[in-house]
Amino acid sequence: MFFILPNPQSIADYVSARLVDLISTKPQAVLGLATGSTMEPVYDRLTAQVTLEDIDVSQLITFNLDEYIGLGADHPQSYHYYMSEHLFNRLAFARHKTFLPDGLCVDLQEQCELYSRKIAEAGGIDLQLLGIGGNGHIGFNEPGTSFQSRTHVVDLSAQTRLDNGRFFASMDEVPTQAITLGLQDIIEAKQIILVATGNNKAQVMADLYYSAIDENMPASIIKQHNNAMIIVDEAAAKLLPSEACKPLIATV
């Protein structure tokens, strides 16, 4: 379940190769996408590889994990903006097939129901990418979220607002709520790859490694998935026992 590669770049190479393999065998695959600084090297590498190998991404359907409530697509800290900058504007995605929750939506409840339903109608997620928050959240599913949850509105924890505050000019600007795919939606993906890199993820990786499958550690739900990988770099693995992680050979 835990795999190790030396650094964020080698992880980006590996994950990009896995995505390209999937897209090559299933051009209309459904991808579950994540945001955050962990994913930036992954999307950079994917952009380079898709361009170099002339891979067709126009048939892909993508669903992002989450979005801040109150931020529109033109707000630089919105996840809509992030995805346009880091992926969608760089490759020939069909934009009507790239879905994110709408942070400005008036009827949030209806939107949540629609979002989970749309994923089911698309045939479910083939490959879900995940980062992880310092408290073990995936998407914006904070500790204590039900493992049965579907897309829902969340009140962001103080720690998550503080962690993500680095992207905003002041803490007052950090949204207090978000819409996130639920843990049940995430666990239904056919494959899951969770990536954690850097010293600041070492503690949460140890917490996750030693945790039982428990709603207080949301990411622990993926321990019950039969096709899930947690990929760490050496810095994020530094509090794990050496036998915890299998070395991975980058395939590119």
Q: What is the largest CA-CA distance in the chain?
A: 50
Query: Per CB under 6 A, does 149 bind ligand GLP?
Result: no
Of the candidates 135, 152, 164, 233, the residue annotated as catalytic is 135
The least distance separating ligand GLP from the CB of residue 21, rounded to whole angstroms, comes to: 23
Count of residues engaged in binding ligand GLP, rule: CB under 6 A:
14
Q: Which of 13, 67, 126, 142 is catalytic?
A: 142
Identified binder of ligand GLP from the candidate list 30, 160, 189, 193, rule CB under 6 A:
160
Range 35-94, binding ligand GLP (CB under 6 A): 35-38, 65-66
Is the Cβ–Cβ distance between 186 and 130 less than 8 Å?
yes
Nearer to ligand GLP, 38 or 62 (CB): 38
Please say if 243 is a catalytic residue. Answer: no
For the bound state, the minimum distance from the C-beta of residue 126 to ligand GLP, rounded and expressed in Å, comes to 19
Residues 169-208 that bind ligand GLP (CB under 6 A): none
Report phi then psi at 176, rounded to 5: -100, -15
Does the annotation count 66 as an active-site position? yes
Nearer to ligand GLP (CB atom), residue 4 or residue 55: 4
- Closest among 106, 130, 237, 247 to 181, alpha carbons compared: 130
| Dihedral class, residue 77 (left if φ above 0, else alpha if ψ from -120 to 50, else beta) | alpha
Query: What's the CA gap between 146 and 119, in Å, rounded?
Result: 19
> Given 64, 67, 126, 137, which residue is catalytic?
137
The question of whether 121 is a catalytic residue gets the answer no
Contact call for residues 79 and 66 (beta carbons, < 8 A):
yes
CB 147 → ligand GLP: shortest distance, Å? 17
If the CB atoms of residues 131 and 182 are measured against ligand GLP, the closer one turns out to be 131
Residue showing tokens 């997620």: 125
Give the total residue count for the chain: 252
Distance, in Å, from the CA atom of 235 to the CA atom of 60, rounded to the nearest integer, reads 33
Find the part of the chain contacting ligand GLP (CB under 6 A) among 15-23, 55-63, 109-117, 126-134: 126-134
Phi-psi region of 76 (alpha: psi -120 to 50; beta: other; left: phi over 0): alpha
Tell me the CB-side half-sphere exposure of residue 52, using CA atoms within 13 A: 10
Query: Could you confirm whether 137 is annotated as catalytic?
Result: yes
Residues with catalytic annotation? Answer: 66, 135, 137, 142
The residues binding ligand GLP (CB under 6 A) are: 34-38, 65-66, 131-133, 139-140, 160, 164
